Each structure stands twice: as C-alpha cells, then as structure tokens.
Amino acid sequence: MADLDAAWNRLEAAAKAAGEKRIVEMFDAEPRRLETLTLDVAGLHVDLSKQAWDEAGLEAALDLAHAADVEGARAAMFGGAAINSSEGRAVLHTALRAKADADVKAGGAPVMAEVEAVRARMKAFAEAVRSGEIKGATGKPFKAILHIGIGGSDLGPRLLWDALRPVKPQIDLRFVANVDGAEFALTTADMDPEQTLVIVVSKTFTTQETLANAGAARAWLAAALGETGANQHLAAISTALDKTAAFGVADDRVFGFWDWVGGRYSLWSSVSLSVAVACGWDVFQGFLDGAAEMDAHFRTASLEANAPVLIALAQIFNRNGLDRRARSVVPYSHRLRRLASFLQQLEMESNGKSVGPDGRPVKRGTATVVFGDEGTNVQHAYFQCMHQGTDITPMELIGVAKSDEGPAGMHEKLLSNLLAQAEAFMVGRTTEDVVAELTAKGVSEAEIATLAPQRTFAGNRPSTLVLMDRLTPRTFGALIALYEHKTFVEGVIWGINSFDQWGVELGKVMAGRILPELESGAAGSHDPSTAALIGRLKK
C-alpha cells in the first residue's frame, strides 16, 4: 500500500508540473513523443500525443499502473478468478468472443463448450429466420424484429445495429426500452404484427420496464394473431425458463447466458441475437473476432505499448492529476452516434463507486461524467464551451479513415472537421493573431481591444484520437473491447470493483413501493416533497 500511495503522489506531482506546460510545445521538447504515444492495433490507430502528460507524467502514470498491479489483475480476470468480489463471480465476457478451442475457465470449470453451444443455436436460429424457414403464425416470413430490453440489454445491441446495419436491411430491427408508453406506440405504429418477431431480453425475466413492454408487445401480437399465434412470434434471452414458458415462449426459442457476464458487457452474447438475425451471422462473427483481437493485444502487450492501458492512464492523469471531472466522447461518424450513451453505462455504472471491495471509502476520485454526440453536429452545440469555457474537459475523438457511404466528397469534409477540431483544441488561437487579423481588416483599436479577448482561444485542451481504418464488424468489435478493457484498468487503479452495480437497485425498489400508491391510493410514508407529488398525481 505504501508503494501505491507513493506512486499516486508521484503522479499528482508530475501532473501539476505538466499542467504548467503547453501540449503543443511538448512535441519540440520530446522528439519521440509521437512515436511513443501512437499505436496501431486491430484496425485502430490510437493517438495519445495530444494528451496533457509530458514524458515524466507518462512515466509516473505507468509506475502507478505497475504499483496497482494491473498485470496481476489482468491475469486474474482472464484466468476466471472471482474478481467480482461482492457477488462472488468471475468476469469472463471475453470468453464470449474467444475461439471454441480456447482454454477458458470460470472458477476452474471450463466454459467454452457451453459458449459454443449457445453460439451454434444463435447461428442456426438467425439463418432460419433470414431464410424464411422460421415463419410467423400466418405463414409469412419475418420482415421486422422488435427488440425489448433496457440498460445493457438495449444500449449495446442498439449501438451495434446502428454501426453495422445494412443501408437497406432484409429484416428491419427496432428497439423499445423505456417504460414510457410513447416509445412503444411510436416504434410499432407502422409495424405489421404478422411479420414481426418479438425478442424479449431479461436474464431473470423480472425487469419491470422490460416486462411492461413485453406485455404490451404480446397483447399487440395477440390482437392480430390470437393468443396461440402470438406465441409463434416470441423469442427470449433469459435464464428463467419457467417464466418464459409462462409468458408463451417455447423453450427452443429461449437463449441463455451466464452470471459471469454483466449486463453492460453482454452485447457479445445472445443478448445481441436480434442483431445477428437482422445483420446476418457473418457480421456478428466478425464483431466477435475484432474484439478477440483486442483481447489478445490487451492480454499480452506490455503496459507501455498497451492501447487500453494507455487510454485509461490518460483519463486517470486528467481525472486525478488535473482534477478534470468530465470527459466528452465525440465520434465523427453518424453510425457511432450512440457511442457516448453506451459508454455512459459501461464506464459510469462500472466505476461510479466511492467504496472499495474492502468496504472502505476510496481515497481519490473515480469515474468521470461521460457525455457526447456525433461530430460535426456538436460543433454547433457544446463545442463553444469546450473551446472557451472556464473548465478544461478532455476529449476522445473517433474517426473512420475510409468510407464508401454517401455522396462523393462528404467523408473528406467530415474528416477535415475531425482533424481541425483536434488541432484547434490543442493549439488554440493567441490574442496576437486575433489582433493582427482585425488590424488587417481595418478594425479600430477601440473595437480590437473589446473583440480580441472574445476571439482568443486558450487551447491546451487535451484529446485522444482513435482512427478506425474502416467501420467494419472487426474494427467495431475492437473499439468496444478497447473501451471495456480501459474501464477495467481504471477500476483496478482506483481500487474498486468495476463489475457490480448496487447503485442501480435503490431507485427500482422505491419505484416498486410507489407504484401501488399511484394505482390503488393506499398512502405510504415519504418525505414531504414526494408525498405532495404523489398526492398531486393522484388528483
């Protein structure tokens, strides 16, 4: 512990020293900066050279990773140890994309035979639906899928569909997650129940929001097809066979997954069955293969040349060394527009903890607030604050080098904005440059004195740029795995369990207490504000 405390102290001191420098000047001071801070792995080019650390800061960050035993924690995770200590579970989402002959164990028990069996069932089901072998109750092939889940059962598959869907899909895929009935109504308004397959995703088949939407979907099907006909349009991702059977799902249309797969890590499993059907199995398999390639890199590369480790250390340098408590993720890709939403759950649910596995409060700040949307749209929204606001917010910018989609010349315009913003955030614009420009335009000295400060950009805003060769199943799988491993490394260094989520439960429990009050009128015990609001709604 003493060594770890000393490593934290060195990091904080190094960050304070680096924070007094300008990033752009570090390139001249450090001739190998670009070489040291760029990596190529699994079709991704990762550039961390615009981050705020100097050579001493990077060295201190790596020392911290060694002191926290990131390598030992990594080995424990891949080895199937019960690193989710509060629930006594292994963490093996990496097994879901491993080859069938991989030697993967959870608590000493081999798992790949079961994984491969579920994958084979998924593939057979996907191909049977796509070929028309599996049909609806009236004999018509399925032309649409309604995917019902929430949290990890929705965000991952929804992002995956957006990223990899065909421009004109053979089978349309739509999602319902919110218990607000408006989402269900808007999503199903133009869907044909005769040709819609409903896939309900809930491991325990008890999630309130998911069951509410599943019930609405079953009623929607039954109104058109009858109760028996509705059953032929149902599939489920669950381990509760008694509950799925009671709902009307045949056992051979229920696909399970394991307690060593957390919800936010489950998009590699049967949770993404709807995407495997709608995109085709080859696409889904390519997604798994890309993640496996990143797994191999993370597992074997030294910390100094390890993409997930370095991205994690850059965030820790900003979060803990420079007290920057938010981070923006901006993909310059319409297909990746939901990435920030996905990372909000992955990172903030995983690492939004203030207590370690030993039950003691952590000594330093943990997860940052993650926000973002697609570029170039956000350039016309919150980038003003990012460039000239009072707080410095680190960024990750994600781009795609080659794309054949859309009108000619559009992609080059997109890339020019990506590169320009990364440079502008770092370089900024000096008051002297602004004064020279305004003077050349004949603006008076009095106006210049007022306008120049408003048009000055301080720069020195750090960013990481991840450039995908192309947006393919392989590179997209690698990108998501990159962020998963980054999140894990951060949790190890912060000394928290990244794989439980007790903070999700409290609101659910309290909502379960309030619902009967809204429905039946029986008063409960609440704080004055909540009691008054319940009374207002009942009126």
Q: Which residues are catalytic?
A: 349, 380, 508
Give the number of other CB atoms < 10 A from CB of residue 390.
5
Cα separation of 276 and 282, whole Å? 8
366 to each of 3, 34, 342, 480, how far by Cα in Å? 20, 28, 18, 21
Question: DSSP letter string over 153-193?
Answer: HHHHHHHHHHHH--SS-SSEEEEE--SSHHHHHHHHTT--G
**Beta carbons within 10 angstroms of residue 443's beta carbon:** 15
Phi, psi at 538, each rounded to 5°: -70, -25
Q: State the number of CA atoms in the 13 A half-sphere of 21 facing the CB.
A: 21
369: which strand partners? 326
Q: Which of 467, 485, 474, 481 is nearest to 331 (CA)?
A: 467
The Cα 256–Cα 237 span in angstroms is: 6
- What would the 3-class secondary structure string for 473-536 be? HHHHHHHHHHHHHHHHHHHHHHCCCCCCCHHHHHHHHHHHHHHHHHHHCCCCCCCHHHHHHHHH
Q: How is residue 334 annotated by DSSP?
A: G
**What DSSP assignment string belongs to 235-249?**
EEE-S-HHHHHHHT-
Sort 358 into a burial class: Cβ within 10 Å, 0-12 / 13-18 / 19+: exposed
Q: Residue 32 region, left (φ>0) first, then alpha (ψ -120 to 50), else beta?
A: alpha
Sign of CA dihedral 241, 243, 249, 255: negative
